Structure 1
């Protein structure tokens, strides 16, 4: 089982978008049984709140549901549980390392590192532009899946 945790500040915009886009991508590749995919916040501000309407508005026309998802906070024990801990921006990475204590196994990454650009995923909380965030998330998730497939020797049943 390959375990992936996406993190952002509140777990209502970017990280749930990445969680559900990646789940959809993994399912289309015929690899769902090989993955556990989740998302969490680095802060406590939004704990218990549903996914932001802007994220839902992007995902629903794509046939991707995020119903039943409520913000949760990342914990120190997540470091031992997950194989890949993916932050959306540099600030998230700093907070993730604070929560986890350190990264001795080199499991913490910024999502767009997998798109061969170390940029931050655009934060729609500030920009209001969920389309740009989706493009960043899609590009990063595609790169992440390719990276995991290569690293783990997974074959794809279908193209994502």
Structure 2
């Protein structure tokens, strides 16, 4: 599960990029990919138009969706809970009892980096956000394949 502040820009972009990677590896039946928000600010809203435009430009399939907030059940449902920035990580740890099973990660950790995915809601730069998300998702897929023994 990918998590950002509002679940309209970064986390749904990561969700659909990862779904595309999973589909291309033929593991759709084994890997569930979703996204959610730490806040309630955008609940019910669809993907930001900048995210839709970037996914369309890159030929990444996506569907209409409604932003939702993380729930207590998400912690048990997902093996990876991936935040886009340090504030997301802080809020996720607070929500999920300080991550007793070590499931919470910053996306770019999977690319060997410690920096955050910048929020295009503020920067307007969906290109950089997309590049970082692709890099992180590719690293995540390598980690998943290793974990699955593939």
* Same fold flag (TM > 0.5): yes
- C-alpha distance in structure 1 between counterparts of 2:59 and 2:124, whole Å: 22
Equivalent in the alignment of 2:48:
52
Equivalent in the alignment of 1:82:
78
Equivalent in the alignment of 2:25:
29
Equivalent in the alignment of 1:39:
35
| CA offsets 1:14-42 (integer angstroms, 9 cap, x no match) | 00000000000110111111111000000
- C-alpha distance in structure 2 between counterparts of 1:91 and 1:17, whole Å: 18
- C-alpha distance in structure 2 between counterparts of 1:33 and 1:78, whole Å: 19
- C-alpha distance in structure 2 between counterparts of 1:66 and 1:53, whole Å: 12
Aligned residues: 150
Where does structure 2 lack aligned partners over 5 or more consecutive residues?
none
- C-alpha distance in structure 2 between counterparts of 1:56 and 1:136, whole Å: 17
Greater strand share, structure number: 1
Q: RMSD across aligned C-alpha pairs, in angstroms? A: 0.9
Equivalent in the alignment of 2:99:
103
- C-alpha distance in structure 2 between counterparts of 1:134 and 1:54, whole Å: 11
Q: Give the 5 Å matches for 1:64-79.
A: 64-79=60-75
Choose which of 114, 120, 127 in structure 1 pairs with 2:123: 127
Kindly indicate whether the alpha-carbon contact (under 8 Å) linking 2:20 and 2:61 is maintained by their aligned counterparts in 1.
no
Where does structure 1 lack aligned partners over 5 or more consecutive residues?
155-160
